[in-house]
Amino acid sequence: MKMFKKLLFALFLFPLFTLAQSNYKPGLIVTLKGDTVHGFVDYKEWENNPGSINFKSSASASAQQYTPNEIKYFQVDQLEYYKAYNGKISTDATNLSHLSTGKDTSFKTAAVFLKLEQDGKHIALYSYADDLKKRYFIVEKTNNEPFELIYRTYNNLDQTYINVIETKYKGQLIYLSSKYDSNTDDIKKKIENSSYDQSLIDVVNKINHNTARPASAKKKSSISFYAGLHSGKTSITPPDYDGNIAYKNVSAGSSYLPGVLLGINVYTNPEVGRLVFRGEIGFSPSSVKTSFSTPFGSTYGSDARSYFTVDQYTLSLSPQVLYNIYNSNSFKFYLECGVSANFSKYSDEKLYNGLYNTTTYGYTPFSTKWISIPLSAGITLKNRVGIFATYTPPVTISDDGNYTYSSIRFGVSYTFGRK
């Protein structure tokens, strides 16, 4: 068991070189000459717009890397679409904790990939996100040249506690609605009430006189549910010294009763499924019997052993983060860590003193609420069946700080609603 604990900890400290694992999906690129090349794009869990992509012309071909300076366009079929852009990009901060004092009109010129948010007859909406902020761009079909929709916020020069918000993008959209005969009272109201976010998609659809297909049509759900069973060794360890008496030959009590769990998975990107946030509820019973040599027994020439027994029933609520180090549709290997809020009830708690042949009930003030940090590693087969091991490091579960809980459990789970 000690070796298992060391191995589990080592896995959590394992270098994240596996972040480079590939996830190729059908797609295409358009070269600078305008040629369309079908193949496979390495689809990542991009938080910001990618600076480059890896592309294979066939499943067996070697991967080639492309930047916005080397291709005009790429897409991951039915998932995401990107257009290369080389031009001005605003660099003023919009995060309220980093606002400039006075208007900041700074920009940079860069080659980037713009993500298609919504397409249509007259205009298309794109976005570009980096570590600074997210920006929206419009492309008119008449010239195919992107321009940024301008949104600024900054602190007033004279009174820095006053926040100024400029919504120039609304004027830009009203101009476009007039240009494409969409300037009705309804769309004016929609533009005036719009925020600088995904609500711009509805505005673009109105200007295009239709509801064009979504730019991204993800098929997989962003959530799934799972249930599981687990069993293993649960230990409650008494102290060598409880503040008054030094015990000898202390032996932890162990239980092997099974437990159950139910949970929900929330995927940051359902099509990749590498990073998952979990919420889990579990129930675990245990019945333990600890033992130790009776204090002062040697003084009276006795080798009698004393015993402490207790039954524990624990309901656990656990927010967790799961990361699939190896991630494919047929096989995944993951590490998981979280915090568990535990609510326990105790029964049949008694201390038998072998020296005096007496039994004391309610001897230890056990905690009914306690926190633990479970660490897990496991595999998932076909996005359905999970096999896992969970180690809970020792944690105090008595109000006097003397008794500790730890466990090593193995289990299986089944995920519903995930293909």
Provide the pLDDT for residue 3: 46
Q: Given this model, what pLDDT does residue 246 score?
A: 59
Average pLDDT, the chain: 87
| pLDDT higher at 3 or 147 | 147
- Check if the beta carbon of residue 292 is closer than 8 Å to that of residue 253: no
Mean pLDDT within 279-294: 89
Residue range 361-393, pLDDT digits in tens: 877 788 999 999 999 999 999 999 999 999 999
The yes-or-no verdict on residue 236 having pLDDT over 50 is yes
Model confidence at 147, pLDDT cuts 50, 70, 90, reads: very high
pLDDT (mean) for 231-255: 78
Q: What angle do CA 284, 287, 291 make, to 5 degrees?
A: 140
Question: Worst-scoring range by mean pLDDT, 117-126, 147-156, 243-252, 319-328?
Answer: 243-252
pLDDT digits (tens, 9 = 90+) for 167-214: 999 999 999 999 998 878 889 999 999 999 999 999 999 999 876 555
Q: Residue 226 has what pLDDT?
A: 97
Q: How far apart are CA 367 and CA 93, in angstroms?
A: 48
- Which pLDDT score is estimated for 153? 92
Residue 306 banded pLDDT, cuts 50, 70, 90: confident
pLDDT of residue 419: 65
Give pLDDT, residue 12: 47
pLDDT per residue as tens digits for the range 19-51: 456 789 999 999 999 999 999 999 988 889 999
**How close are the terminal C-alpha atoms of the chain, in Å?**
35
The owner of tokens 């929330």 is: 266
